[in-house]
Structure 1
Amino acid sequence: MHRLTPLAILTTCALLAGCHDGPLFALKTINPVYRSQWADDEKLGPTDAQRHEELQRLVASMPSLSDADQEYWLAHIEALLENDKNPEMRTLAIRALAGCRSQRVLDLCEKQLTDESIKVRMAVCDVLAVRDEARSTELLGTTIGSESNEDVMMAAIAAVGKHQSPEAAQALKASLKSRNPAVRTAAVESLAQCTGKELGEDPQVWVAYLEGKAVDEQKKSFTRQMRDLF
């Protein structure tokens, strides 16, 4: 069985003393392949609290795992996302993907962007924020344009602002014309972040910039200077 890094092993074993099958036993049991092996013990299976705790440890440990071990746990995460009815578990599983280097992460994120849980979809946006790749930018742009929940849309707007590319900036253009002032403000803030430009808070100025028109750059406002410090 694949194991976690030495530090994670010590931490996990200390917290899971007496565990049936080593680190993250409870996470493995969501996989139908493993569940069939323990059908007789199903009534004595892990509780949601135990699986929640183990998923939190996987979130913390994933970045330090080898590529092979990450691929191993990706299979279990994928099974969890497909089979677990608890949105909190699916949310934690998605957050574990943030520390995973595999390109398969984007496949899983794309699939979970249609998850019924708002929390899961917001977690996907957070993961895509740290994947500064063309496909990730595209997925966020699609979410901004199609998402019906405002919280998820705002999460996608904030996430794409962390991608420093012309494509990321263009993905925010439609949000500048939103009827919702909060959405327009969020788009302006993300554009300032992804372009490094200071063009003020007028969405129309940013629209002109994105259309290639000449606009005057401004000094950073005191509020933005303070925000950048923290």
Structure 2
Amino acid sequence: MSLSAKPKLSPSTPSLRGSVCRQAVCGYIIAATVISSLTGCHDGPLYALKYTNPYFHHEWQQDRAFGVTDHQRRQELQKLAKVIDRMEPKEQAFWYQQVQNIMESDPSPEMRRLCVLTAAKVATPDALTLIETGLKDDNLIVQMQACKALGDRNEPRAAQILATTIGSTSELDVKHAAIEAIAQHDGKTAVNSLRLVLDDLNPATTDLAINSLRNVTNEDYGTDPAEWIAQLDQASPAEADGNNPRMANEPPAIPKL
């Protein structure tokens, strides 16, 4: 037989037939991987998060054989946190429901932390409830993220929750996170809660409180907690409420006759 001649492949040759089959399967998997990397997911963005919803379990049952990794889900939730505030209301509501599902059932603290981060950008009162749930989480990182999220919210209730956390938590890291977050709120609630912290015996805690008070009051009375206490205690109600101090010194308007 000529060396250049190609041997015939017989269907009865198990080794060759198995090799061909393996090559075909490998080719399919590689093609599927390439397509997936180009499109970003199996069904558009955030497939892995959608997949975690039991509603989609049957629809994606076959895809489960390929597996959805924690890394995929974490990446997609990070992506969702960046874009959810720019979504249309209906789309935002849909994905926020997925976030709620994850928050309620996911064993991963990092996933729950990202849920809180995402909820901070959702403009519904219900999102504040999810963030507050984060304060009750058994993981400190989730609790600290909830404090930061409350600082990013502009509702008065967010400041009230932070003030309650400052006065009640036994976790120093969480307390410090709440002190830093409440600096983004103005008003009497923020000032009063920080004023109480100035009596703390921990210098690191009082330093954080003073830094936050500078932001809330737009004043700087130095680094001595006692000086801040004296100034705040003699402040007028208008100043303590976080308003511009110059407004408190203006004469009342003359009533019209």
Give unpaired runs (5+ residues) of structure 1. 1-12, 215-230
Residues 161, 169 of structure 1: 8 Å contact kept: no
Residues 116, 145 of structure 2: 8 Å contact kept: yes
- Corresponding residue for residue 13 of structure 2: none
In 1, Cα distance between equivalents of 2:231 and 2:92:
42
Residues 67, 101 of structure 1: 8 Å contact kept: no
Give the C-alpha shift of residue 21 in structure 1.
2.5
3-state DSSP of counterpart to 1:144:
helix
In structure 2, what residue type is equivalent to 1:113?
A: L
Query: After the TM superposition, which of the residue ranges 17-26 and 71-80 deviates more from structure 2?
Result: 17-26
Provide, for residues 12-54 of structure 1, a one-character-per-residue CA deviation record: whole Å limited to 9, x for no partner. x985626332211111233333336545654533101101111
Structure-to-structure mapping, 1:68-107, within 5 angstroms? 68-107=90-129
Provide, for residues 69-106 of structure 1, a one-character-per-residue CA deviation record: whole Å limited to 9, x for no partner. 22221111111001110111111121112322112111
Paired-residue identity, %: 38
Normalising by structure 1, we get a TM-score of 0.80
In 2, Cα distance between equivalents of 1:101 and 1:16:
32
Choose which of 6, 15, 28 in structure 1 pairs with 2:50. 28
Choose which of 206, 212, 228 in structure 2 pairs with 1:190. 212
In structure 1, what residue type is equivalent to 2:185?
A: H
In 2, Cα distance between equivalents of 1:186 and 1:92:
25
In structure 1, what residue type is equivalent to 2:177?
A: A
- Corresponding residue for residue 200 of structure 1: 222
Distance of aligned partners of 1:206 and 1:18 in 2 relative to their CA distance in 1, 3 Å threshold? closer
Q: Does 1:155 align with 2:172?
A: no
Normalising by structure 2, we get a TM-score of 0.72
Give the C-alpha shift of residue 164 in structure 1.
1.5
Report the aligned-residue RMSD. Answer: 2.2
3-state DSSP of counterpart to 1:161:
helix
Give the C-alpha shift of residue 174 in structure 1.
2.0
Query: After the TM superposition, which of the residue ranges 184-193 and 17-26 deviates more from structure 2?
Result: 17-26
Give unpaired runs (5+ residues) of structure 2. 1-34, 237-257
Equivalent pairs counted in the alignment come to 202
In 2, Cα distance between equivalents of 1:158 and 1:120:
16
In structure 2, what residue type is equivalent to 1:104?
A: D
In structure 2, what residue type is equivalent to 1:143?
A: T
Larger radius of gyration: 2
